[in-house]
Amino acid sequence: MASPRLDLMQVLLARENGFCFGVKKAVELTEAAAETGKRVHNLGQVVHNPTISRRLAERGVQVIKDVAQAEEGVVVIRAHGVPPAVRKEIEDRGLECIDATCSLVLRAQRFTKQLADEGYTVLILGTPDHPEVVGLKGYAGGTFHVVETKEEWGRLPKMKKAGVVSQSTQPPWAFTALVAHVATIAQEMKVFNTVCPVTVKRQHAASELAGQVRTIIVVGGRNSANTRELVNLAKMQGRSAYHIESADEVRSEWLAGEEAVGLIGGCSTPMDTLLEVKQRVEALGDLTTTAA
Ligand code: SF4
């Protein structure tokens, strides 16, 4: 009997993978709406993942950028949420609205409104044009600032009352650093930590992986904020990190000389996409090992 090969490259899957509960709910609600036979529209990609978008398109779900593009049927609000004016527009046009905003994003929207109602200048840690931040801005009243980098919050003016919230996928260390800075420029400060604990767990899993391997492959939509954060984190720990959306993007040269590589997906990356990547890495790793 042939003895098992011990020289194959190992693929280490991160401890946390697959959809987060917010993405899972948004996809399930969209699929359930498609089953009804009505015309179903996603206001923006339901999740930042090309495989899921393709699957939903096959079921007749149409992605629209603007509510005005839906003439009839159902509009699904994705996990990122929308500003109140958009929600109202859906209702005013007589369209059926399915709200798949993640419960954690709804919580952040509530806190943002509360801060604005209480007269705080709202400071949002996030990417200005990210859909979740666009939604939060709609609750932030007339005076707010969106900041993402140390340089940006370093330019904030002094203020009497500052209220701080965060886009869910921002790294916790950035939130802590922003809060520490605001304490030096505001007379009064109120803070709601709206960083998503699911993404924090995923970031911990990425760090753990970075402790075990030199190369990490991160799978997820290129426009997915939480996926990009995993790539940044691996790079900050001195690892080679490659961001891909699907298995066919894996390159054998990334694997050359490696005994093991790490694999992790963003919160909107389905497990089957991740497993396809795993298979491809294993196949290429085998070739690389054999060639060496
Ligand atoms: S990443 Fe967090 S906030 Fe965003 S959809 Fe998932 S659970 Fe909700």
pLDDT at site 4: 42
Asked if residue 234 belongs to a domain, the reply is yes
Looking up tokens 């992605």 gives 63
This prediction's pTM: 0.89
pLDDT at residue 234 is higher than 70? yes
Q: What atom in ligand 1 is closest to the CA of residue 19?
A: 6
Let me know whether 108 and 189 are in one domain.
yes
Q: Which atom of ligand 1 is found nearest the CA of 20? A: 6
Partners of residue 264 on adjacent β-strands? 218
To the nearest 10 degrees (0 to 180), the angle between helices 103-117 and 21-35 is 110
Q: How far is the CA of 112 from the centre of ligand 1 (A)?
A: 17
Output the domain CATH number for residue 91. Answer: 3.40.50.11270
Choose the final residue of a domain: 47, 79, 101: 101
Residue 199 CB–ligand 1 contact under 6 Å = yes
| Alpha carbon nearest to ligand 1 atom 7, residue | 22
- Count up the domains in the chain and report the number: 3
Query: Which strands make up the sheet holding 40-43, listed edge to edge?
Result: 62-64, 40-43, 74-77, 96-99
- Using one digit for the tens of pLDDT, what is the confidence trace for 137-152? 999 999 999 999 999 9
pLDDT digits (tens, 9 = 90+) for 75-119: 999 999 999 999 999 999 999 999 999 999 999 999 999 999 999
Q: Give the structural domain span for 141.
A: 104-195
Instruction: Find the 200 Cα to ligand 1 centroid distance in Å.
Output: 10
CATH code of 261's domain:
3.40.1010.20
Per-residue pLDDT at 1: 41
The residues that are catalytic are: 132
Q: Could you tell me the distance, in angstroms and rounded to a whole number, from the CA of residue 24 to the centre of ligand 1?
A: 10
37: buried, middle or exposed (CB in 10 Å: 19+, 13-18, 0-12)? exposed
Q: What is the pLDDT of residues 16-25, one digit of tens each?
A: 999 999 999 9
Are 153 and 202 members of one domain?
A: no
**Same domain assignment for residues 179 and 204:** no
Q: Is residue 286 part of a domain?
A: yes
Mutate to test the pocket of ligand 1, among 16, 17, 19, 21 (most ligand atoms within 8 A of CB): 21
Domain end marker among 195, 212, 247: 195
**Residue 239, pLDDT score:** 97
Structural domain contains residue 3: no
- Cα of 9 vs centre of ligand 1, distance in Å, is 33
Query: Does residue 81 have its Cβ closer than 6 Å to ligand 1?
Result: no
Same domain, yes or no, for 227 and 149?
no
Q: Looking at the structure, do residues 265 and 285 belong to the same domain, yes or no?
A: yes
| 230 Cβ inside 6 Å of ligand 1 | no
Span 45-77, pLDDT tens digits: 887 777 788 889 999 999 999 999 999 999 999
Q: How far apart are CA 242 and CA 183, in angstroms?
A: 37
C-alpha–C-alpha distance, residues 115 and 104, integer Å: 17
Residue 190 is encoded by which pair of tokens? 């109120």
